[in-house]
Amino acid sequence: MSPAPDDCRFLKACRAEPTDVTPVWFMRQAGRYLPEYRALRQKHSLLELCHTPELAARITLQPVERLGVDAAILFADILLPFEPLGLGLSFAAGEGPHITRPIHEATQVLELPRVEPSTDLAYVMDAVRLAARALPPHVPLIGFAGAPFTLASYAIEGGATRSFTLTKRFMYSEPRAWHELMLRLAELVGAYLAAQARAGARALQLFDSWVGCLAPADYATYVFPHSQRALELARAAGVPVIHFGTDTAVFLPDFARAGGDVIGVDWRIPLDVAWERIGPERAIQGNLDPAALLAPLPELEQRVRDVLDRAAGRAGHIFNLGHGVLPETPVEALQRVVDWVHGG
């Protein structure tokens, strides 16, 4: 007899309950490293795949079949809410995202339309429903959204950046407009996550991928209350929430205090040190360097075992990378990692 759905490994670990073996999934496990995904991308643009629930659901399932991971993550892009927000979104070949009408003036913030995710992003909810229905009961679907800071940085920069110059200038120079923007994004993101849970996502992840560009004091002032709000709204949906960021080592206690049943950390901090900082009662997700998957297998195995050793078999560890799977990653490396984490 298969276990009750809530007794699956991944959800138990989210609640910091003991599991038979450590659950594992990979950020961006539905993506470019997979030949079957690349085959679809030959025929469709990234946005077409996102906009078509049948295709998004199919891509969501691909890594579950290939890798034997303990959770599926919805195929989508964190910037999809920019379309109903009227900011405009495109992806040039081989480039990152491009925002057509970035936010450069405080007045633009008040003109942003209200977004109702369950209708304005109905195609995402459809993809969630299709994927959730198709997945085996022991493999929960994770819904996700970008965190207010990470979304604001794209909205202001107009695309990827290394220095976050425009974002920080806006934050320092227009603090009222900044907080208004972050408040609106927090409400949007919270509602978006909750809607995904209602559509069938059994866990949610908030991605604050770029928040580590900030000084700890700036995180506390300009970001913390808004991440807290988004996480609070998401949590009301009644499923576990993972709060993920990179480069958060120094302000990790604050980051954890903002919320999340599970805290996701990157490879810049040893897992045991991170666990100490977020509090040992909290579940933790991470934290292999995605580049380690490009290493020879013995070297990779040693690194996987190091992460597991640092978790020391304690309840509440979800194995993952410290950021998304790199496109150059061999499928076999991910398969082997799943085996090792599952005790092979």
Stretch that binds a second copy, among 21-29, 38-46, 127-135, 264-272 (CB under 8 A): 264-272
Q: Which of 154, 192, 219, 222 is catalytic?
A: 154
Active site residue 218: no
Assigned token pair, 227: 């991440």
Contact 283, 249 (CB under 8 A): no
Residue 269 engages a second copy in binding (rule: CB under 8 A): yes
Active site residue 66: no
Name the 3-class secondary structure at 196: helix
Q: What share of the chain is helix, strand, coil (3-state, %, to 5)?
A: 50, 10, 35
Residue 267 engages a second copy in binding (rule: CB under 8 A): yes
Residue 236 engages a second copy in binding (rule: CB under 8 A): no
Least distance in angstroms from the C-beta of 164 to a second copy = 7
Contacts with a second copy in 283-312 (CB under 8 A)? 289-292, 294-296, 299, 306
Please, which residue, 83 or 306, has the CB nearer to a second copy?
306
Contacts with a second copy in 156-175 (CB under 8 A)? 160, 162-165, 168-169, 172-173
Active site residue 192: no
Active site residue 235: no
Least distance in angstroms from the C-beta of 46 to a second copy = 18
Helices and strands (DSSP H and E) totals, the chain: 16, 9
C-alpha closest to that of 247 among 274, 223, 282, 217: 274
Active site residue 32: yes
Q: Report which DSSP code applies to 24.
A: B
Sequential DSSP letters for 205-271: EEEETTGGGS-HHHIIIIIHHHHHHHHHHHHTTSS-EEEEESS-TTTHHHHHHT--SEEE--TTS-H
Give bridge partners of residue 262 from the DSSP assignment: 242, 283
List of residues contacting a second copy (CB under 8 A): 160, 162-165, 168-169, 172-173, 212, 214-218, 247, 249-250, 267-270, 273, 289-292, 294-296, 299, 306, 326, 328
Active-site residue set: 28, 32, 41, 77, 154
